[in-house]
Structure 1
Amino acid sequence: MKKWIAAAIGTIALAAMSSAPAVAEEGPTPKLVVLISIDQFSADLFGANRGEFRAGLATLAQGIVYANGFHAQGVTETCAGHAVIASGRHPNATGIIANQWFDQRGGVDRYCTDDGIHVAARATRKLGVGPGMLRVSTLGDWLKAASPANRVFSVAGKDRSAIMMGGHRPDGAFWFDGKQGFDSWGTDAAEAQRRLSPLVGINARLAQRLSAPPPAWTYRRESCAAREAVIPLPGGKSFHAHLPPDPAASIPGQPPASGPALPPWFYDQVTVDAAIDLIDRQKLGRSSGTDLLAVGLSATDMVGHAYGTQGPEMCDQMARVDEEVGRLLKRLGDLRIPALVALTADHGGGDIPERLAARGYRDAGRIDTAALLTELNAAARTATGIDWDPLRPAYFDPTQLVVVDAGGRSLGDAALKNRIAAATAARALTQPGIAGAWTAAELRTRKPDARQSPDLMPVADRMALSFYPDRSGDVLLATDPLKIAAPPLPGLFMMGHSGPSDFNRRVPILFWWPGVVYQERALPVRVADVAPTLAAAMRVAPTDAVDGECLELGDPGSACPALPVSSR
């Protein structure tokens, strides 16, 4: 069942940040909308830790709570998820299908911000860096179209988070590079430097901090130590889950990293530092109209990939991200800015299969992707009579396969490509750990039912919403939800989250403002609903069609404005 709720956000009274209750009648628009994304903050993590939150997340959980928000798409990765949050469109419209892909027209591996148009202020990237790969407009773009004088800023621990949430026309999109400080993008080097200028002071202070040894990662919440354990890994190895963590494993064939790394929580800390600095120095929320600040907190994803979601590392991270969100809300409260705060996640994630297996999930394990690729190439050769291996992973993603010719280029013979893809998909379904396989020809013509509740959407429809021609693979695979298509590298990469299962798609969606009356809303909604909901609160209209719908946050008797709905 799908039950979409439509009502006007315009009736929300956003009182000043004080203890006074919000006015019940229609009030002014918020002066500042703060859109927070916590990378890999699944609904499971939110629910499991909800009783332990004491700061910012505890506050937001007393607003309007959708505990069952869903990313409708099947490929659940950071860049794709942030594009959905910002635009209200699915990846089959945004063109941002994953973090990276094989550009079949250009014959090149492409990262999602390698747009070939813009450049960074500090980083040197051969293929450029900017939002040019994003094919749709965003919440910030809608605000700029309606009111160019109002400001749009985004700041995050990852470039793909900041750039996608900032959209095409931000006043600044900033990301922490982990080495020098924050970076930004522009049409040329001079403009990129100008855009970076608001964070010159932050970067100067960061330079001093980064010149010193990195801070130690010790327990913020001592009770998390109860989760310490030694976990057996394949090949007779083991992983000691504890803090401070052991040095990270090295990538096979590469030398180990030199020196201790920054703890993941450092990324969230400096991101919130920068967000507060922008609020203060740019005087966000203190002019006519509404300003927008998007904040991407990336450390939860770093912890999940490196250590899993059920160990002492993630327990500690939940305490720390709660504090950082609290620090941001406190600054808004001190300044008494009438603000609307929304929080969600770009995707979810699960725990490492070794710990799951120890807890009774017998099917949990890992897939040998090299052996799988060898098997699928052999099957394709046998089925079609070709004399070369026709399959390569799209970038390094083993669940998206591209059909190539003997020279490694995208195969130009469409009929032969379709035969190879069909044989590959059929063979993949016989392999252990593979739960689904689809060809590009199947997904290109599939039309997902827009009326379907996101929790009940067929898996093939989820994958179709992640398909974009010339960027998606010729064969898309879905692994069993309890299988990881990667070897374990503790402290570096232990688990992934790019599949269509619900623990990868299901995330919380929270809306809060001072004086809000707490409501728990259990029925499923889409993450694509966040942008049109915030647009209604800001009194701006999407300039393009949207896949999401405006959610009711105000009085039941009011109505959300009509939205240009996508026909996709």
Structure 2
Amino acid sequence: MRFIKYVTSFIAFIAISSTANAENHSNTKSGKPKLVVAISVDQFSADLFSEYRSSFTSGLKRLSDGAVFPAGYQSHAATETCPGHATIMTGVHAGRAGIIANNWIDLDVKREDKTIYCAEDPRIEGTSFGSIVTASQDSYVASAWHLLVPTLGERLKQVSPKSRNVAVSGKDRAALMMGGNDVDAIYWWKGKGFTTLKGQSVAPAIGSLNATIGETIDKARPPFAIPAHCKARNRKITINDQQSVGEYAFQRPEGASRIFRGSPDFDSATVSAALALVQSMKLGQGEATDILSIGLSATDYIGHAFGTGGLEMCIQMTELDRNLGELFSALDQQNIDYIAMLTSDHGGHDLPERLRAQGVPEAQRIDPKLHSKDIGEQIRQALSLTGDEPLLHADSPFGDYYISLSLDAETKAKVKAEAIRILTRHPQVHAVLDGADLAAMPMPRGPVEEWTMAERARASYHPERSGDFIVLLNKAVTPIARTGLGYVATHGSPWDYDRQVPILFWRQGMTYFEQPLSVKTVDIAPTLAAIIDLEIATDETDGRCLDIDGGEGDSCQ
């Protein structure tokens, strides 16, 4: 049984009809829509959209009948969740937004743990996110404080006080980066239900949904039925002696709520939360246009846990399509005039063990010694430096590296030069970029698919937060040396499999068209702004308005 059916009693007002689809709409809506529904599907690459497009029959089919930009780009090199979501509703590159990665290092911070989480509030003393993989969700206070620019919803509220800016997601960083700091309601998953900002109470509608989820989440769940087009992908891939993927259909034993996030049921719960907010707040039914940002996170958890090429992802694509169909059908039943946009925060790369069996012999896992501690020790020996304080700090093998603040300027320069020399010679490293060089570069322009590696890194570089140098790995190198439960594949590279994402728009009766030339996620906010008659100064965005009127009109005018 699919999870959304567990909450049917709670959202009975929806009256979902399985036959409701785009064909029910006969005329193009005119004027401003009453609701903007901005959807981000975490780790939904352009490759996944292309691979499964012919199998979509519901929500993703509807979106595919609107304005389709299959070659969208998250332009930057740091293709992670927080930077990607920071571009979608702001219209600026991740570096300009100040969100350079999921985590970065601040050696000046007055606490033992120098790792900064993109969605933690540094104003709250005594809290720390620590490791993004292992940290307790109770160890930090979540907020959008690190986001340096306004979102579309925040801009709209400034000129239209009656407009509501609402966000809900499976991840706090997705909701916060799309909603921003000025929100009327914001929710993300925590534990066994949805929570909100510190100091704010959970709305009764979400509280009721949480109670319903709590009654079902620990119950055993039978496997999903395997769609016919997924059967060829039902094949075991061995990763190590204790672990394999490729043939799991998301069945759960009694009491296994801990693996709920890595299943299609997680998106069902998020859709239910979004619809609960639509109903309780009457979004799209007032005088002014409202913004609803939805972050669907299950695809990302499934991609990390099982890779992108097996049975698990095939089932998830089928269920994602169905969940989106239920979202749109519910909005249709309430006769809401809405425009829907769907994109992703980044793409994803399959696990190397499966890639090698599918014609990618260069696919490999990262050298476990390619990290800041080992590189720092090599530098210490090469330069005959004394002491035991770490010379380098980094959150992962790739991305931003920071040099110890205890070094004098001359020694720091030598450490940087030696680090770049050692790393550049490593067979798995594509490039090492000096932060000073990136800081001197203008923000890149021109065709995004032609950007150099330095230009891609510049788009996610911020002079006060980025590292002294940035490490970019070779194509097909997975930066996971040792796999674990829920973590066998990932993203984060500057390569197009991680950068390319679909960008789709749909509104009642709009003329279908498909534009294969490249566009960017920073184009989304100015495109939506034009449709709701919200003016954004050209110097306040890195994107451009996309004309999504497939007829003689121009939606940018």
TM over 0.5: yes
Q: CA-atom RMSD, angstroms?
A: 2.7
**Which residue pairs with 1:366 in the alignment?**
365
Correspondent of 1:437 among 428, 432, 435: 432
1:498 maps to 2:492: yes
Q: Which of these residues, 140, 143, 148, is aligned with residue 156 of structure 2?
A: 143
Answer yes or no: is 1:522 the counterpart of 2:516: yes
In structure 1, distance between residues paired with 2:143 and 2:443:
30
Task: Give the 3 Å change call, closer, same or farther, for CA 371–379 of structure 1 in structure 2.
Answer: same
1:338-349 equivalence runs, <5 A: 338-349=337-348
What residue number does 1:300 align with? 299
Indicate the residue corresponding to 1:22 in structure 2.
27
Mapped to 2, the partners of 1:52 and 1:86 lie a distance apart of 29
The answer for the alignment partner of 2:247 in structure 1 is: 242
Whether the aligned pair in 1 keeps the contact of 2:78 and 2:399 (CA below 8 Å) is: no
Contact 1:247 1:260 in 2 (8 A): no
Give the aligned residue type for 1:475. Answer: F
1:261 to 247, 259, 262: 259
Give the SS at the match of 1:155: strand
How many Å separate the matches in 1 of 2:555 and 2:25? Answer: 26
1:65 aligned partner: 68
The answer as to whether partners of 1:377 and 1:389 remain within 8 angstroms in 2 is no
After TM superposition, the structure 1 = structure 2 runs for residues 42-441 of structure 1, keeping only pairs within 5 Å, are: 42-106=45-109, 108-117=114-123, 125-177=138-190, 179-186=191-198, 189=199, 192-193=200-201, 196-210=203-217, 212-233=218-239, 239-244=244-249, 261-262=259-260, 263-373=262-372, 376-387=375-386, 388=388, 390-396=390-396, 398-404=398-404, 410-411=405-406, 413-441=408-436
Residue-by-residue CA offset, 1:47-86 (whole Å, 9 max, x unaligned): 0000011110011001000000001110000011001112
Q: Is the 8 A contact 2:79 2:492 kept in 1?
A: yes
Say if 1:231 and 1:180 are closer, same or farther in 2 by CA, change over 3 A: closer
CA drift at 1:225: 3.2
Q: Which runs of 5+ in 1 are unaligned?
A: 1-15, 249-256, 405-409, 562-568
CA spacing shift, 1:65–1:124, aligned 2, 3 Å? closer
1:418 CA displacement: 3.2
Report deviation, 1:207.
2.2
SS at match of 1:550: coil
How far, CA to CA, are the matches of 2:109 and 2:485 in structure 1? 35
For structure 2, the residue ranges without an aligned partner over 5 or more in a row are 1-20, 128-135
**1:403 to partner: Cα distance:** 1.5
C-alpha displacement at 1:386, in angstroms? Answer: 1.9
Distance of 1:341 and 1:128 partners within structure 2? 31
Contact 2:372/2:397 (<8 A) preserved: no
Determine the structure 2 residue equivalent to 1:566. Answer: none
Cα distance, 1:397 vs structure 2: 5.3
* Structure 1 Cα separation of the partners of residues 323 and 256 of structure 2: 29
Change in CA separation of 1:170 and 1:132 when aligned onto 2, cut-off 3 Å? same
TM-score between both structures, scaled by the size of structure 1: 0.86
Give the whole-Å Cα distance in 1 for the aligned partners of 2:223 and 2:369: 35
Within 5 Å, give how 1:25-44 maps onto structure 2.
27-44=30-47
Q: CA deviation at 1:446?
A: 1.9
Aligned residue type for 1:285: G
Q: Is the contact made by 1:117 and 1:129 (CA closer than 8 Å) also made in structure 2?
A: no
Indicate the SS of the match to 1:427. Answer: helix
Which position in structure 1 is the counterpart of 2:525? 531
1:260 and 1:213, CA in 2 relative to 1: closer, same or farther beyond 3 A?
farther
Change (3 A) 1:173 1:438: same
8 Å CA contact 1:434–1:480 kept in 2: the answer is: yes
Between the aligned partners of 1:557 and 1:327, the Cα distance in structure 2 is 30
| Change beyond 3 A, Cα 1:161–1:214 | farther
Query: Which deviates further from its counterpart, 535-544 or 50-59?
Result: 535-544
Distance 1:556 1:549, change over 3 A: farther
* Structure 2 CA distance for partners of 1:134 and 1:367, relative to 1, 3 Å: same
Give the whole-Å Cα distance in 1 for the aligned partners of 2:229 and 2:79.
31
CA shift digits 1:215-257 (9 cap, x unpaired): 24433524423222232435x5652421246999xxxxxxxx9
| Counterpart residue identity of residue 233, structure 1 | I
Question: What are the within-5 Å matches in structure 2 for residues 460-471 of structure 1?
Answer: 460-471=454-465
Tell me if the contact between 1:174 and 1:196 (Cα under 8 Å) persists in the aligned partners. Answer: no
Cα deviation code 1:160-205 (max 9, x no counterpart) = 111111111110110011x23111115xx2xx11x64552221222
Q: Is the 8 A contact 1:55 1:325 kept in 2?
A: yes
Tell me how far apart the structure 1 counterparts of residues 101 and 509 of structure 2 sit (CA, whole Å). Answer: 38
Q: In structure 1, how many angstroms separate the alpha carbons of the residues matched to 2:137 and 2:451?
A: 42
The residue type equivalent to 1:548 in the other structure is G
Give the Cα–Cα distance (whole angstroms) in 2 for the partners of residues 71 and 429 of structure 1: 26
| Structure 2 residue matching 1:229: 3-state secondary structure | coil
- C-alpha spacing 1:367/1:23, structure 2 compared with 1 (3 Å): closer
Report the Cα distance in structure 2 between the residues aligned to 1:415 and 1:22, rounded to whole angstroms: 69
CA distance in 2, matches of 1:159, 1:303: 18
* Matched letter for residue 466 of structure 1: S
- Paired letter, 1:424: A
Amino acid at match of 1:65: V
Aligned-partner Cα distance in 2 for 1:541–1:475: 37
Whole-angstrom CA distance in 1 between matches of 2:220 and 2:97: 38
Contact 1:73 1:464 in 2 (8 A): yes
Separation in structure 1 between the aligned mates of residue 166 and residue 192 of structure 2, nearest angstrom: 20
Q: Name which of structure 1's ranges 429-438 and 312-321 shifts more when overlaid on structure 2.
A: 429-438
1:118–1:221 CA distance, 2 compared to 1 (3 A): farther
Change (3 A) 1:360 1:558: closer
For 2:479 and 2:318, locate their aligned partners in 1 and report how far apart those are by CA, in whole Å.
29
Structure 1 residue corresponding to 2:469, chosen from 460, 469, 475: 475
